[in-house]
Structure 1
């Protein structure tokens, strides 16, 4: 069995055991263990998988660790500061969040890789994905912790559901977007060039669409199947409830949108790696 698979299975068994013991004993001291295991399991697994497939001696285990921890923490802290200063509820809120979070991850990647004298597209994909997964892990830990607290008290099911959902979506979120940006950045020698800026804007747009998909799905559902009473509420500035039928349509649209965004990102990354392989073959001819 490959290393990444052993890491995932071992971590999943430990996480599941922690869920069962926490639910049985109601021991709140186990909550940090549950939050950390659930938030880090999938991102760490994908970093190990990417490292095994990358086969790049320039990206060492030490550099991966720095990318994941230092890059991830710097990214989360930078995003938190900038969003608290710049973000206000508006129609452009999600776009600004995308620009900020992709920007701080790019800055963190440049900081972590500043001593690399030679770099390739594949190096950037692996190390960029590592920084992105580090950011995702620390962000997910925050979401999982917050989901524990409800008006009815501590909610273990809410925490578990949050970790499962974010774990499923983790491979096509922050790690994917920063892997793309890292590949383009390293292909240009680590310098900010026009292709890097355009890629930054592109992944920021994917990020913004991802974050705003809930609002987009609700808006499309109301446009297609909205009732007169719902539009009356919208005209006076109130958010209407949705019918059971509309909820089915919303759920379908929401997940379809996330799938399309994920496919665009995966195709972009595949094209980037394919171009790198062709360039290397040409250089060796």
Structure 2
């Protein structure tokens, strides 16, 4: 009976992402209905926040709680999401504005480089300060930074849509589209880049690890740029499939490797 309680608790923790998703969807629907029925725009900030945060947060909770053990401290993950979102969007906004002033329409080609780099600032600080020994936590920290960025960016686009269309239905469509695509965008791209970053401090071959980090960053930039400049639906579908597949593979590997490590530790302790 003593062993069943931790197992039950682990099972509930692994399914916590479902609760986050359900709570977010229900909250969004309730706020939307109340705002429309009362015609009270005071609910609009709540609608923006819930609509922007639900899906990215669900992915983050799944990555953090899906394994046998929690890969990174909760305060580190939360702090990375908040700071990563603020620092990332502000840094990217300033650099994109300056590049547009100097290069005009050609600055669009630099958006991927700028935003993917801006989202790495806070994870890099965490690496330097915390000096993590477990490289598997990188995917969670990366998803956290991407989540913060995606949430603030989506809220910005939602607000712009309200000003442009003067229509809540248009805002709802914008939030829904960006929510569905968020796991294949900033969340995935920053997730697999930071996963490569996290392996550098403990890598036996530092040069190879740095090369892998550069490759991951360039891959994120390419996917980001292709998404931005292409108006082709098939191309967008390919970007979504590739991004989500890489993200799920890395999250799965982190969960499986932790489980194997725990089993080896239990066998060693029993022996």
Q: TM-score, normalised by structure 1?
A: 0.77
Equivalent residues of 1:129, 1:179 under 8 A apart: yes
Secondary structure at the aligned position of 2:131 is classed as: coil
Structure 1 unmatched ranges of 5 or more: 218-253
1:8 aligns with 2:21: yes
Within the candidate set 95, 99, 119, 2:133 is matched to: 119
2:43 maps to 30
More helix by proportion, 1 or 2? 2
Cα distance, 1:195–1:155 mapped onto 2, change above 3 Å:
same
Equivalent residues of 1:128, 1:175 under 8 A apart: yes
Secondary structure at the aligned position of 2:50 is classed as: helix
What is the correspondence of 1:48-59 to structure 2 with a 5 Å cutoff? 48-55=61-68, 57=70, 59=72
Measure how far apart 1:150 and its partner are.
Answer: 2.8
Within the candidate set 95, 104, 111, 1:89 is matched to: 104
Measure how far apart 1:10 and its partner are.
Answer: 1.3
What's the CA shift string for 1:198-232, capped at 9, x where partnerless? 22111111110111122xx3xxxxxxxxxxxxxxx
Equivalent residues of 1:58, 1:119 under 8 A apart: no
Equivalent residues of 1:121, 1:273 under 8 A apart: no
Within the candidate set 149, 174, 186, 2:198 is matched to: 186
Secondary structure at the aligned position of 2:130 is classed as: coil
Measure how far apart 1:25 and its partner are.
Answer: 1.1
Distance 1:56 1:177 in 2: 24
2:8 maps to none
Cα distance, 1:134–1:30 mapped onto 2, change above 3 Å:
same
What is the correspondence of 1:267-278 to structure 2 with a 5 Å cutoff? 267-269=245-247
Equivalent residues of 2:64, 2:71 under 8 A apart: no
Distance 1:40 1:273 in 2: 20
Equivalent residues of 2:139, 2:250 under 8 A apart: no
Cα distance, 1:187–1:56 mapped onto 2, change above 3 Å:
farther
1:210 aligns with 2:223: no
Measure how far apart 1:259 and its partner are.
Answer: 1.6
Measure how far apart 1:130 and its partner are.
Answer: 1.0
Measure how far apart 1:269 and its partner are.
Answer: 4.1
Measure how far apart 1:271 and its partner are.
Answer: 5.8
Cα distance, 1:140–1:275 mapped onto 2, change above 3 Å:
closer
Distance 2:92 2:47 in 1: 25
Distance 2:248 2:37 in 1: 45
Secondary structure at the aligned position of 1:119 is classed as: coil
Distance 1:258 1:33 in 2: 30
Measure how far apart 1:46 and its partner are.
Answer: 1.1
What's the CA shift string for 1:36-81, capped at 9, x where partnerless? 1111111111111110125554511101111110111110111001
Q: TM-score, normalised by structure 2?
A: 0.80
1:266 aligns with 2:244: yes
Distance 1:131 1:13 in 2: 25
Equivalent residues of 1:54, 1:123 under 8 A apart: no
Distance 1:131 1:68 in 2: 5
What's the CA shift string for 1:240-272, capped at 9, x where partnerless? xxxxxxxxxxxxxx1x21221122223444565
